[in-house]
Amino acid sequence: MKTEQAIQVLREFNLWRRGNEDMDQPDPREIGEAIDSVLVSIQKAEAELDEERKEGEEQARLLGMGSEREAKLIAERDLWRAGAQRWREQALDLEAQIETAIKRIQWRQDNLDRGIKELKGDY
């Protein structure tokens, strides 16, 4: 699943989760795939960011840049890392919310099944 599609799936899930009654319940498997896709994208972005940081540090060293400029670059790197961490935490939070919603749905389905059995006299 492409990242843009995964983000859209997660946004729609969030709307449904927040009570948008005009929406059908999203497919939990699709939500899981979207979370996995976003996590992979975050990991790739972090790896690319780390590689860019290493190259930037090497270029700064080779060019003899001053410590002030290097400090600015390090601060920018830290901001990117913090952003990536927030994305990771949000993805994990969404995953926990999805798991809770799935358990709630399963509980409701079990209760419906029990009710149907009781109505049929199959208990």
pTM, entire model: 0.47
Domain, as residue range, for 87: 3-120
pLDDT beyond 70 at 123: no
Identify which of 84, 104, 102 has the alpha carbon closest to the alpha carbon of residue 41.
84
Identify which of 11, 1, 3 has the alpha carbon closest to the alpha carbon of residue 42.
3
- 68-90 pLDDT per residue, tens: 777 888 899 999 999 999 999 99
pLDDT beyond 80 at 106: yes
| Residue 105 pLDDT level (bands cut at 50, 70, 90) | very high
Task: Match 């780390």 to its residue by tokens.
Answer: 50
What percent of the chain lies above the pLDDT cut of 90? 54
Estimate to the nearest angstrom the gap between the alpha carbon of 52 and the chain centroid.
23
Give dist(CA 83, CA 79) in Å, integer: 6
The structural domain count of the chain equals 1
User: What residues have CB less than 8 Å from 45, skipping those under 6 apart?
Assistant: 84
